[in-house]
Structure 1
Amino acid sequence: MARREKPAGATPAQKPKKKRFARTRQLKQVYDMTVRVDPGAKWWLLLAFAGPVVLGLLIGLLVDHPIYFTILGLLVGVLAGMFVLGRRAERAAYVNLKGQKGAAGAALSSIRRGWTIEQEPVAAEARTQDMVFRATGRGGIVLVGDGPPTRVKKLLEAERRKVSRIVPNVPVHLFTVGDGDTEGEVPLHKLASRVQRLKPQLTKQEVAAVQKRLRALGGIRPPVPKGIDPMRARPDRKAMRGR
């Protein structure tokens, strides 16, 4: 009988190796990005990793079990290093986002549970490119302005009035992304935690009802077709006068 050839491709033994290599590359990319933005992070990582190892070795020498406690310290060091890398990488990501359009929406999207985040802005100003993002949860409705705080307040207030007409008895919280110098102004890296700390005032059933009503508001108008610059768009004056 003719011998069947196995189909080309990765064998089951090779797949775990590819996954490990992919995770290693991803971890290296996170480390490189973090150190590029925050050079001091590498020393905190070294301390988080080496500290438990050295401590484990010292304890092991005292109790006459150096190998066991050194291995234990190594495992704790790896966990501590991963924790520190995660926190530093998150802060570095916020630094990269700072000043970019849509950064407030990206910060809100980092909230993992308890809130429904609108992925697209619910209000926007084409001329200035200021935007408002919305989140809904047991703490009420959160509106976050993305733009210079002194300028985006008008857009925020207009959206608040619109929301209050739809759900008049629901608390609405206004935030703007900034340096935190004035009331309602929150640094980008603290926005998610500030929203999550809001005191629950609605039940889950009430949140679902609020979300249903907010859908009636819709979103902002569809984006301008590709190739058209909204900053240079001009109205058709002939059409306005009538031909």
Structure 2
Amino acid sequence: MAKNSDNVASEGASQKKRGLFSRKPKAEKKNKEPGRLKQMAQVFQMTRRNDPMVVWWMLLAGLGVVAIGLLIGILINNWITMLLISIPLGLLAAIFILSRRAEKAAFSQLEGRPGAAGAAMSVLRRGWILKDEPVAANRHQDLLFMAVGRAGVVLVTEGPNGRVRELVTAERKRIGRVLPNVPISVINAGSDENQTPLHEVGKKMKKLPKQLSKLEVNAVDKRLTTLSINRLPIPKGIDPNKVRPSRRAMRGR
């Protein structure tokens, strides 16, 4: 009996040992992020499809910087050094042009899509509290988005100016009842006359004068969140996150 028990124990130990060493290594992640060069190539192809002139603008910027550097080098009788310095600067200038044109190309793809105005706000970073869903809508599917920051409350409209005016007026009154001293700014996003293009919405919001402290921004957001609890729900399916442009594409990396 002792021998049998020893055999069983040895077999069990050997099985555990085989199981321990027979484990397969963890599979590598299949969905690895592309490298920098591949990202740049993807951004360039996307931008070129929407803006064929980007190649010429990049060449003009890059060669222009190199030409200026070479000219300075000739004047100071040290053109080799200046050429070595100006070549990487020319590449940086070309990449900068690509990033700016890529931003416009990314926003041009959002034109006419529901939630485009909300996506235009999504490029803002620290200092802003953005509402993911529109705060108001009408039967024409015109939308009103909101953000809270140091500039106060910012309302961004999506739709013809004449139709969204009622949405803005109603929202101003609603906010004014609980936050009478908070400044409210309105930006009409779109491509029509007297509207702000999508790629300039974030820039325009950043230029608004700062009138609130960080603590006041949080307090205003809490009051607005409490106020929105009793609001009628907005129809589902309008999610600016689904049409949000790639920040890497707009930065060119």
TM-score tier by shorter-chain length is 0.7 to 0.9
What is the rounded CA distance, in whole Å, between the counterparts of 1:212 and 1:8 in structure 2?
Answer: 45
CA drift at 1:178: 3.1
Conserved in 1, the CA contact under 8 Å of 2:137 and 2:234?
no
Change (3 A) 1:91 1:149: same
- Check if 1:104 corresponds to 2:114: no
SS for the counterpart of 1:79 is helix
**Partner residue in 2 for 1:186:** 196
Question: Structure 1 residue 131: deviation in Å?
Answer: 1.3
User: 139-148 or 213-222: which moved more?
Assistant: 213-222
Runs of 4+ with deviation above 6 angstroms: none
Distance, in Å, in 2 between the alignment partners of 1:8 and 1:70 is 49
Structure-1 separation of matches of 2:108 and 2:79: 42
Letter in 1 for 2:87: L
Give yes or no for the alignment of 1:47 onto 2:60: yes
Paired AA for residue 73 in structure 1: S
Compared CA separation, residues 30 and 220, structure 1 to 2 (3 A): farther
Look up the match of 1:231: none
Partner SS, residue 97 of structure 1? coil
Report the alpha carbon displacement of residue 103 of structure 1 after superposing the two structures with TM: 1.0
2:72 and 2:79 map into 1 onto residues whose CA distance is: 7
How far, CA to CA, are the matches of 2:208 and 2:37 in structure 1? 38
What 5-or-longer segments of structure 2 have no aligned partner? 1-20, 238-253
3-state DSSP of counterpart to 2:222: helix
After superposition, the Cα gap between the structure-2 partners of 1:220 and 1:49, relative to the gap in structure 1 and judged at 3 Å, is farther
Question: In the superposition, relative to structure 1, how do residues 200 and 60 fare at CA in structure 2: closer, same or farther (>3 Å)?
Answer: closer
Q: Does 1:32 align with 2:37?
A: no
Q: CA deviation at 1:84?
A: 1.0
Distance 1:141 1:76 in 2: 40
Higher relative contact order (CA 8 A, sep 6+): 2
Alpha-carbon distance in 2 for matches of 1:222, 1:179: 24
1:149 corresponds, among 141, 146, 161, to 161
- State how far apart, in whole Å, the 1-side matches of 2:88 and 2:225 are: 49
Question: Which of 197, 208, 221 does residue 211 from structure 1 map onto?
Answer: 221
TM-score (ref. length: structure 2): 0.73
SS at match of 2:180: coil
How far apart, in 2, do the equivalents of 1:194 and 1:66 lie?
A: 42
8 Å contact kept, 1:56–1:69? yes
The amino acid across from 1:196 in the alignment is: K
- Which of 182, 186, 190 is the matching residue for 1:170? 182
**Secondary structure, counterpart of 2:35 in structure 1:** helix
CA distance in 1, matches of 2:210, 2:192: 23
1:9–1:65 distance in 2 versus 1, CA, 3 Å: farther
Aligned to 2:249: none
Rg bigger for which structure? 2
Quote how far apart the aligned CAs of 1:69 are.
2.4
1:221 aligns with 2:233: yes
Instruction: Note the C-alpha offset of 1:128.
Output: 2.1
| TM-score with structure 1 setting the length | 0.75
Instruction: Return the offset for 1:156.
Output: 2.1
SS in 2 for 1:174: strand
Q: CA deviation at 1:107?
A: 0.9
Check whether the contact 2:73–2:79 (CA below 8 A) recurs between aligned residues.
Answer: yes
1:184-214 Cα shifts (integer Å, max 9, x gaps): x322222212211111222222111111101
Q: Residues 66, 143 of structure 1: CA spacing in aligned structure 2 closer, same or farther, 3 A cutoff?
A: same
**What residue is the counterpart of 1:86 in the other structure?**
99
Gapped regions of structure 1 (runs ≥ 5)? 11-17, 226-243
Verify: 1:197 aligned to 2:207, yes or no: yes
